[in-house]
Chain A
Amino acid sequence: MSQPAAEFRFAVNVTPKPGILDPQGRAVEQSLPHLGLSSVSAVRVGRRVELTVAVPNETEARAVVDHLARELLSNPLIEVYGIELLGATSSTVSSVVAPMPPDAAGPEVAS
Chain B
Amino acid sequence: MSVRVGVVVFPGSNRDVDALRALELAGAEPVSLWHESADLQGVAAIVLPGGFAYGDYLRAGAIARFSPAMRAVSAFAAAAGLVLGICNGFQVLAEAGLVPGALLRNRSLRFVCRQVTIAPERLDTPFTRAIGERRPLRMPVAHGEGCYYADEATLDALERDGQVLFRYVDDDGSPALDPDDRANPNGSLRGIAGVMNAAGNVAGLMPHPETAVEALLGSDDGLLIIRSLVESAGERLAAGRPTAVGAR
| A and B form one complex | yes
Determine whether the beta carbon of B95 is less than 8 Å from that of A75: yes
Q: Is there contact, CB below 8 Å, between A23 and B106?
A: yes
Shortest Cβ distance from A27 into chain B, in angstroms? 5
Instruction: Give the nearest-CB partner of A74 in chain B.
Output: B59
A77 touching B109, Cβ below 8 Å = no
Within 8 A of A (CB), among B104-150: 104-109, 147, 149-150
Residue of A whose beta carbon sits closest to that of B61: A75
Query: Knowing A72-B66, A77-B102 touch, does A21 contact B109 (C-beta < 8 A)?
Result: no
Contact with B along A75-95 (1 / 0, CB 8 A): 101100000000000000000
Contact with B along A24-53 (1 / 0, CB 8 A): 100100000000000000000001000000
Q: How far is the CA of A75 from the CA of B147 in the complex (A)?
A: 15
Closest to B149 in A: A78
B62 within 8 Å of A (CB atoms)? yes
Alpha-carbon distance between A47 and B101 when the two chains are bound, in angstroms? 21
Chain A interface bracket (under 10, 10 to 19, 20 to 34, 35 or more): 10 to 19
B150: A residues at CB distance < 8 A: 77
Question: Could you tell me if B108 and A23 are in contact, using CB atoms closer than 8 angstroms?
Answer: yes
User: What's the least CB distance linking B179 to chain A, in Å?
Assistant: 8
- Which B residues are CB-close (under 8 A) to A47? 58
B187 contacts A27, C-beta separation under 8 Å: no
Q: Nearest-CB distance from B68 to chain A (Å)?
A: 16
With contact pairs A72-B66, A75-B95, A78-B149 given, residues A20 and B104 touching in the complex (Cβ less than 8 Å): yes
Q: CA A65 – CA B66 in complex, angstroms?
A: 17
Interface membership of A61, Cβ < 8 A:
no
Residue of A24, A27, A72, A75 with highest tally of chain B CB at under 10 A: A75
Q: Is the CB of A78 within 8 A of B105?
A: no
Q: A21 touching B187 by the CB < 8 A rule?
A: yes
Q: Is the C-beta of A73 less than 8 angstroms from some C-beta in chain B?
A: yes
In the complex with contacts A73-B58, A77-B101, A77-B102, A24-B147 CB distance below 8 A? no
- Which residue in B59, B95, B149, B187 is a CB contact (below 8 Å) of A20? B149
On chain A, the residues within 8 Å of B104 by CB distance are 20-21, 23, 78
Partner of A75, one of B66, B102, B187: B102
> Assuming A20-B149, A21-B147, A21-B187, is B105 touching A75 (CB within 8 A)?
no
Given known A21-B147, A21-B149, contact A72–B62 (CB-CB < 8 A): yes
Residues in B whose Cβ lies below 8 Å from that of A27: 109
Q: Mark A1-24, 1 if CB is under 8 A from B, else 0.
A: 000000000000000000011011
Which residues of chain B have C-beta atoms less than 8 A from A77's C-beta? 101-102, 149-150
Tell me, in angstroms, the Cα distance from A58 to B66 when the chains sit together: 27
Q: Given the complex of chains A and B, what is the CA–CA distance between A77 and B102 in angstroms? A: 7
Q: B58–A72 contact, CB under 8 A? A: yes
Residues of A within 8 A of B63 (CB): 72
Pairs across A and B, CB under 8 Å, 28 listed: A20-B104, A20-B149, A21-B107, A21-B147, A21-B149, A21-B187, A23-B104, A23-B105, A23-B106, A23-B108, A23-B109, A23-B147, A24-B105, A24-B109, A27-B109, A47-B58, A72-B58, A72-B62, A72-B66, A73-B58, A75-B59, A75-B102, A77-B101, A77-B102, A77-B149, A77-B150, A78-B102, A78-B104
Q: Interface residues, chain A, CB within 8 Å of chain B?
A: 20-21, 23-24, 27, 47, 72-73, 75, 77-78
